Amino acid sequence: MLDFLNLTVRLAAPVLLVALGGLFSLRVNIFNIALEGFMLFGCFASVVGAYLTGSVLGGILFAAAVSLLMTMVYALFVFELDVDPVICAIAVITIAGGLTRYLLIPIFHTSGRYILPPELALPTVNLPWLEAIPVLGPILNNHSILVYLALVLPFLLHIFLYKTDLGLSMRSVGLNAEAAASAGISVKKVRYFALAMNGILCGLAGAQLALSLNLFNVGMTNGRGFTALAALTLTGFEPILTLLACLLFGASDALVLMLSGEGYPVQILSMLPYVLALVVAIVPPIVRRLAKNARRRRAERTLMAPGRECPAQE
């Protein structure tokens, strides 16, 4: 059980990092569905960076840099050239899939997948004082730095959004860009900043995904960007709630990994995260709609109650 929860935390980390990246974009009202593409760039760049520099840190930094560069190109297209952000985002995903598949061949002379030497895998941190805590210790210990970053970041982000000037600017740009502009906020600068943060976090997510397994696999993000979007729509872009939602996805990933060794059909098991994301995206709006209808019926009943005048017709 503790193993399972430990695995949950580890598998939730990449989704969480992507989701927090997407949160920046959604908070400034850019529905960035290209998360998947930026993360794939991050995966590939982390492996290339680690390979070229011979260090894990080099891989992480390179992933963040490449992903940042790509988001800036995307931002340039969306903000300066007025393109359709959705189609541009899908183009980014297509380019990410194509370029990483293509560049694997000239850089690593292999096709489909490249495995780094094991010493370039993301090292895990063992904290003796954490180990000593009964239940929490084994769950939270022995993760990589990026997992810890992912776990701390939602709280920092909460503080950033609600306690700092820049966070306030971001929220106001998201709620009403024109009003924010007339209040003297530079909407474009705030949006570029949000997309830059989005890029860096997607890069880190890619680094965690690729370097924790020390390999790059074509299309290894496997829809995590979209899962993150589903999680975000569930939580209404709240960082701390997003942490919980992503842990749920981490748990489903962990369940798939643990059960796949026990003779269940792999394909059906692998559907679990996607079905979960589907449920997460569909059920809350239905519940909201039902609640609204119930409220309206209740209000009608009160209005029509005996002893009350009916509202005059015409």
Partner 1 sequence: MGAKTAALDLRGLKHWALGLVSPVCAILISFIMAGIVVVFSGGNPLEAYGALLRGAFGSAAGLRNTVRYTLPIIMLALSFSLCDRCGYFNIGQEGQMFTAALAVAWVPQFMGGAPGFLQILVMVLLGALVGGVMSLIPALLKFLLGINEIVIGVLLNYIATLLSSYMLLHASFADPNSSMPMSYLIEAALPAAAMVGGVVLIVLVYGLGMQRTVPGYELRMIGKNPRFSRACGLPTVRIILIMALIGGAFSGLAAVGEVAGVYHKMYEGFAAGMGYNGMTAALIGKGGSVGMVFGSLILGALQSGSVTLSVETSVPAELVQVVQGFVMFFATVNILRFGFRRNRKGGN
Contacts with partner 1, residue ranges (CB under 8 A): 31, 33, 77, 81-84, 86-88, 90-92, 94-99, 101-103, 105-107, 111, 222-223, 226-227, 229-230, 233, 265, 267-268, 270-271, 274-275, 277-278, 281-282, 285-286, 289
The length of the chain is: 314
Residues sharing a CB contact under 8 Å with residue 289, sequence separation 6 or more, in sequence order? none
What's the min distance (Å) between Cβ of 218 and partner 1?
9
State the Cα–Cα distance between residues 268 and 274, nearest whole angstrom.
11
What's the min distance (Å) between Cβ of 147 and partner 1?
25
Beta carbon nearer to partner 1, 140 or 195:
195
What's the min distance (Å) between Cβ of 283 and partner 1?
10
Which residue from 15, 17, 16, 23 is spatially nearest to 170, judged by alpha carbons? 23
State the Cα–Cα distance between residues 39 and 71, nearest whole angstrom.
11
What's the min distance (Å) between Cβ of 240 and partner 1?
22
What's the min distance (Å) between Cβ of 82 and partner 1?
7
What's the min distance (Å) between Cβ of 16 and partner 1?
17
Beta carbon nearer to partner 1, 138 or 223:
223
State the Cα–Cα distance between residues 233 and 23, nearest whole angstrom.
10
Residue 294 burial by Cβ neighbours in a 10 Å radius (0-12, 13-18, 19+): exposed
What's the min distance (Å) between Cβ of 97 and partner 1?
7
Residue 288 burial by Cβ neighbours in a 10 Å radius (0-12, 13-18, 19+): exposed
State the Cα–Cα distance between residues 176 and 181, nearest whole angstrom.
9
Beta carbon nearer to partner 1, 16 or 277:
277
Strand partners, 178: none
Beta carbon nearer to partner 1, 31 or 192:
31
End-to-end CA distance of the chain: 67
Beta carbon nearer to partner 1, 15 or 229:
229
Beta carbon nearer to partner 1, 81 or 305:
81
State the Cα–Cα distance between residues 37 and 22, nearest whole angstrom.
12
Beta carbon nearer to partner 1, 54 or 98:
98
